Amino acid sequence: MIAYLDFVTRISLDDKRRTFVAQGLTAGMRVLDVGCGTGDDVRSIAALVGDDGFVAGTDSSHAMIAAARARGVPKPAAFYTASAAQLPFEDASFDAARAERVLQHVADPSAALRELRRVVRPGGSLLLIDQDWDSLSVAGADRDVTRRILHAFADALANGTAGRDARAGLRAAGFPEVEIAPMISTPSLPIAHELILRPAIDAALARGVVDAIAARDWLAALLRAEAQGGFYCAVVVVAALGR
Ligand SMILES: C[S@@+](CC[C@H](N)C(=O)[O-])C[C@H]1O[C@@H](n2cnc3c(N)ncnc32)[C@H](O)[C@@H]1O
């Protein structure tokens, strides 16, 4: 999981920086990063808010928080093991909060969103970034098998439609203004293979929606499509900013 996060961070550094700017993170702010993983975003945000600000990184995984602390805790930052639905902070203690690729793993996102709303001060902001995994499309192989495998991948997540639900979730949690920026991610075959196709095959086999031969033929067809320049993979990623 940590190797996967490092890989995604490496390929999305510019996108991440753009989201810090879009949310208006500046010197002196108090910022919360929920589901911070190994804390790379917390360290980047610490450099933006400076010593007069504060960044808290929380994650429900002890292993992630241990890895985050081992990688370094800059002066204005701290890491906490905590579920998104139960944050160890006073009401209204942050100017801005964010949860990137987290709510797709949360079975009850509305409880987490209410908790995030509680710790953001009135006038503050909450940024959510998540894929809409039901929008995943892949070209180059049998359409029916493709559907079965990709749906198994979306269904294996606790909340595979987190991206499309972000706007309504923010409104319901008490953010009256919500701006959304849906983006299309089009990973190349090597990246899609690591992050999507291989886990999708595993999910489809575990759910028994395809057998091992169909899964092998499916991947072989995608590799042939790639060799002929016809491979295509796309998924909608929704950034939703509530104020
Ligand atoms: C895909 S990683 C994203 C990490 C980081 N936000 C990023 O963009 O690089 C998802 C993280 O959310 C954490 N997570 C999953 N469910 C959570 C929950 N209910 N509360 C807090 N963190 C959670 C996982 O442990 C994992 O570190």
Atom of ligand 1 nearest to the CA of 5: 9
| Helix extents (H) in the chain | 2-11, 13-22, 40-49, 62-70, 109-119, 143-156, 162-173, 189-192, 198-207, 212-227
Mean pLDDT of 114-122: 98
Mean pLDDT in residue range 15-28? 94
Q: What single-letter DSSP state applies at residue 103? A: G
Tell me which of 12, 59, 69, 127 to substitute to probe ligand 1's pocket, judged by most ligand atoms within 8 Å of the beta carbon: 59
Given ligand 1 and candidates 2, 11, 105, 194, which is best to mutate, with the most ligand atoms within 8 Å of its CB? 105
**Percent of all residues in the chain with a pLDDT value above 70, rounded to a whole number:** 100
**61: which 2 tokens?**
């995984």
* Predicted pLDDT at 51: 96
Does residue 5 carry a pLDDT above 80? no
Ligand 1 neighbours, Cβ below 6 Å, are 5, 9, 34-37, 41, 59-61, 64, 83-84, 100-102, 105-106
Is the pLDDT confidence value at 34 over 90? yes
**Does the structure show a pLDDT above 90 at 2?**
no
Least confident of 8-17, 66-75, 145-154, 192-201: 8-17
Which residues have C-beta within 8 Å of that of residue 31, sequence separation ≥ 6? 25, 45, 49, 53, 54, 55, 56, 94, 95, 96, 97, 98
Q: Is the pLDDT reported for residue 1 higher than 80?
A: no
Range 218-228 average pLDDT: 97
Single-letter amino acid code for the residue at 185: S
The span from the CA of 30 to the CA of 7, in Å, is: 28
Q: In the prediction, which pLDDT does 8 show?
A: 74
Q: Which of 1, 9, 102 should be mutated for ligand 1, with most atoms under 8 A from CB?
A: 102
Contact 189, 233 (CB under 8 A): yes
SS3 of residue 155 by DSSP: helix
Average pLDDT over every residue of 104-108: 97
Averaged pLDDT for residues 216-224: 98
Split at pLDDT 50, 70, 90, the class of 12 is confident
Q: Return the pLDDT at 10.
A: 73
Please check whether residue 28 is in contact with residue 37, taking contact to mean a CB–CB distance below 8 angstroms: no
Residue 212 Cα, ligand 1 centroid: separation in angstroms?
31
Residues 47-72 have pLDDT tens digits of 999 999 999 999 999 999 999 999 99
Least confident range of 43-52, 64-73, 183-192: 183-192
Q: Which pLDDT band holds residue 16 (cuts at 50, 70, 90)?
A: confident
Quick one: which atom of ligand 1 is closest to the CA of 83? 20
DSSP category for residue 192: H
Residue that the structure tokens 């983006």 belong to: 183
pLDDT number for residue 204? 98
